[in-house]
């Protein structure tokens, strides 16, 4: 069709993007669909042949006109950027987009080489290292918990005395609350530090690396899902986390939007999230920020250069509006993003929520009963169990996954929250002991 038009002397503007897709992701499909709906041709950069085969199928299924596939090593962003740069010599590109945070580092390095819009080098890396992130936020004057970087038990004691208890000990390099532990008594510090070190080792990180000791900030927690456009934060949704997150471990269970905090408080939260992103040097792309609100004042907890994790992106999609992936693609192409609906502080209209079903204790998942009843609770749109029966499950602070997800959509945040809780109450989750010792 395009060739025909070109033969007739009609100029056809084709938009092309490379999607950087890790073999382990389940998020590629949403991006293929978005590209297809926006008329964008996509090529795929991935780290596995197998994935590439699957992507080809997914690409053609989504009619996104996959342009080709290139193999890259995602552990080596500069090497991967080389490959994409070479590819761009024969196939001019308008954008390079990572479908998750790690792929985003590769996409950013490639976009920089190609003279496409990108974040300053180092900004995404800073957001992945909590010590660098805290230092950048401090330089930017962001309100955040008082903290120290500690290595030894003596450091930790001294830090706790100076900051005051309760405090939170956490690794600099992990995510999903892995290894994040509240400490109330000084005598618990050595054991907690030891436990964090074991979690680091199990995650393949240096167990001796410095960790953070932060003042525990009480109060409600919110997550801000947004997209940076030239340094301005466009709020996609602010989620309340209505389950108290008081520790000692910090399982995030419920996310519900819109937030029920006062508009003035929400304004401060959004301003703080935007300022934190800028302090890290981020100017564009999706961000997921977490903040605590203590007596109306936001305290910055963390910010990641990615959209809301995994399955949760589904709760962002509002009927008939932009999908998260469409927003991300448009942003990376420098296209105009939608403006906020009238009288709304966020793009997402209507109430929705998700529960990341917690793993109550470590063991082996024996069975999950009650799925049919849970799914039939009004307003519940989906209940997914992500672990097979017979598989081991590990609770926090050592664990690194959820048991599954419950999604709901409804007229108000309170009703959505109620529906999710009702659905959860229908589930009978049986976890039995692991035969033999649990390896932590």
Choose between 94 and 251: whose C-beta lies nearer to ligand ADP.
251
- Minimum distance from residue 249 beta carbon to ligand ADP (Å): 8
- Give 385's strand partners: 404
- Minimum distance from residue 178 beta carbon to ligand ADP (Å): 6
Choose between 110 and 277: whose C-beta lies nearer to ligand ADP.
277
- Interacting partner of 306 out of ligand ADP, Ca ion, none (Cβ under 5 to 8 A depending on kind): none
Q: Is 124 exposed, middle or buried (0-12, 13-18, 19+ CB in 10 A)?
A: buried
- Minimum distance from residue 170 beta carbon to ligand ADP (Å): 6
Question: How distant is the alpha carbon of residue 177 from its chain centre?
Answer: 12
- Interacting partner of 326 out of ligand ADP, Ca ion, none (Cβ under 5 to 8 A depending on kind): none
Tell how strand 95-98 and strand 167-171 pair up.
Answer: unpaired
C-alpha distances out from residue 169 to 49, 153, 188, 247, 324, Å: 40, 12, 11, 11, 33
- Interacting partner of 221 out of ligand ADP, Ca ion, none (Cβ under 5 to 8 A depending on kind): ligand ADP
Choose between 170 and 314: whose C-beta lies nearer to ligand ADP.
170
Q: Is 121 exposed, middle or buried (0-12, 13-18, 19+ CB in 10 A)?
A: middle
Measured at the CA of 268, the angle between CA 264 and CA 274, to 5 degrees, comes to 140
Choose between 221 and 325: whose C-beta lies nearer to ligand ADP.
221
Tell me the residue ranges of DSSP E strands in 271-345: 285-294, 297-304
- Minimum distance from residue 311 beta carbon to ligand ADP (Å): 16
- Interacting partner of 216 out of ligand ADP, Ca ion, none (Cβ under 5 to 8 A depending on kind): ligand ADP
CA proximity to 97, closest of 50, 49, 38, 176: 38
- Minimum distance from residue 176 beta carbon to Ca ion (Å): 7
Q: Which residue has the closest beta carbon to ligand ADP?
A: 250
Choose between 42 and 174: whose C-beta lies nearer to ligand ADP.
174
- Minimum distance from residue 246 beta carbon to ligand ADP (Å): 8
- Minimum distance from residue 144 beta carbon to ligand ADP (Å): 8
- Interacting partner of 217 out of ligand ADP, Ca ion, none (Cβ under 5 to 8 A depending on kind): ligand ADP
User: Is there a contact between 125 and 132 (Cβ–Cβ < 8 Å)?
Assistant: yes
CB atoms within 10 A of CB 378: 11
- Interacting partner of 250 out of Ca ion, ligand ADP, none (Cβ under 5 to 8 A depending on kind): ligand ADP
Q: What distance in Å separates the CA atoms of residue 121 and residue 102, rounded to the nearest whole number? A: 14
Query: Using N-to-C axis directions, what is the helix angle for 49-61 and 28-38, rounded to 10°?
Result: 40
CA proximity to 355, closest of 321, 315, 317, 395: 315
The interface mask with Ca ion, positions 271-300, x = CB under 5 A, is -------------------x----------
Residues that bind ligand ADP (CB under 6 A): 145, 168, 170, 174-178, 180, 214-217, 221, 245, 250, 290, 292, 301-302
- Interacting partner of 406 out of ligand ADP, Ca ion, none (Cβ under 5 to 8 A depending on kind): none
User: Is there a contact between 181 and 248 (Cβ–Cβ < 8 Å)?
Assistant: yes
Query: Which DSSP letter does residue 235 get?
Result: E
Choose between 112 and 165: whose C-beta lies nearer to ligand ADP.
165
- Interacting partner of 178 out of ligand ADP, Ca ion, none (Cβ under 5 to 8 A depending on kind): ligand ADP
Residues near Ca ion (CB under 5 A), total: 1
- Long-range contacts from 381-388, C-beta under 8 angstroms, 24+ separation: 381/407, 381/408, 381/409, 382/314, 382/406, 382/407, 383/407, 383/423, 383/427, 384/311, 385/357, 386/311
- Minimum distance from residue 123 beta carbon to Ca ion (Å): 18
- Minimum distance from residue 211 beta carbon to ligand ADP (Å): 11
Choose between 219 and 350: whose C-beta lies nearer to ligand ADP.
219
CB atoms within 10 A of CB 227: 22
Choose between 356 and 383: whose C-beta lies nearer to ligand ADP.
356
Choose between 217 and 278: whose C-beta lies nearer to ligand ADP.
217
- Minimum distance from residue 176 beta carbon to ligand ADP (Å): 5
Q: What distance in Å separates the CA atoms of residue 313 and residue 225, rounded to the nearest whole number? A: 10
Q: Is 175 exposed, middle or buried (0-12, 13-18, 19+ CB in 10 A)?
A: middle
Choose between 14 and 360: whose C-beta lies nearer to ligand ADP.
360
- Interacting partner of 288 out of ligand ADP, Ca ion, none (Cβ under 5 to 8 A depending on kind): none
- Positions touching Ca ion (CB under 5 A) are 290
């Amino acid at each position: 069709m395009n060739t025909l038009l070109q033969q007739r002397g009609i100029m056809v503007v084709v938009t092309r993007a490379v999607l950087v897709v890790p073999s382990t992701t389940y998020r590629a499909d949403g991006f293929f669909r978005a590209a297809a709906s926006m008329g964008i041709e996509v090529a795929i950069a991935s780290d596995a042949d197998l994935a590439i085969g699957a992507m080809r199928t997914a690409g053609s299924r989504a009619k996104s006109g996959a342009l080709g596939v290139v193999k890259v090593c995602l552990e080596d962003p500069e090497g991967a950027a080389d490959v994409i740069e070479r590819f761009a010599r024969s196939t001019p590109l308008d954008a390079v987009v990572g479908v998750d945070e790690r792929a985003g580092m590769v996409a950013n390095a490639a976009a920089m080489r190609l003279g496409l819009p990108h974040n300053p080098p180092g900004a995404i890396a800073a957001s992945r290292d909590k010590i660098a992130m805290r230092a950048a936020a401090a330089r930017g004057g962001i309100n955040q918990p008082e903290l120290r970087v500690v290595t030894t038990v003596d450091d930790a004691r001294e830090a706790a005395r100076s900051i005051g208890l309760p405090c939170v000990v956490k690794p600099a390099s992990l995510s999903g609350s892995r290894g994040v532990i509240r400490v109330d008594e000084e005598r618990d510090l050595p054991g907690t530090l030891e436990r964090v070190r074991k979690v680091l080792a199990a995650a393949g990180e240096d167990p001796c690396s410095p960790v953070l000791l932060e003042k525990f900030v009480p109060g409600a927690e919110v997550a801000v899902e947004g997209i940076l456009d030239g340094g301005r934060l466009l709020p996609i949704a602010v989620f309340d986390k209505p389950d108290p997150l008081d520790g000692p471990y910090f399982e995030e269970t419920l996310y519900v939007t819109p937030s029920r905090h006062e508009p003035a408080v929400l304004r401060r939260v959004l301003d703080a999230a935007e300022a934190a992103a800028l302090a890290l040097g981020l100017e564009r792309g999706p961000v997921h920020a977490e903040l605590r609100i203590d007596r109306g004042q936001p305290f910055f907890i963390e910010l990641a250069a990615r959209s809301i994790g995994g399955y949760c992106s589904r709760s962002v999609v509002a009927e008939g509006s932009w999908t998260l992936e469409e927003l991300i693609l448009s942003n990376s192409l420098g296209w105009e993003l939608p403006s906020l609906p009238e009288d709304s502080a966020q793009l997402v209209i209507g109430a929705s929520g998700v529960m990341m079903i917690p793993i109550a204790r470590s063991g082996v998942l024996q069975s999950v009963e009650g799925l049919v009843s849970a799914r039939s609770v009004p307003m519940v749109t989906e209940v997914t169990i992500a672990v097979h029966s017979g598989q081991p499950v590990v609770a926090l602070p050592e664990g690194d996954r959820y048991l599954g997800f419950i999604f709901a959509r409804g007229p108000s945040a309170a009703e959505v929250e109620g529906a999710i809780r009702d659905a959860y109450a229908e589930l009978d989750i049986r976890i039995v002991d692991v035969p033999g010792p649990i390896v932590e």
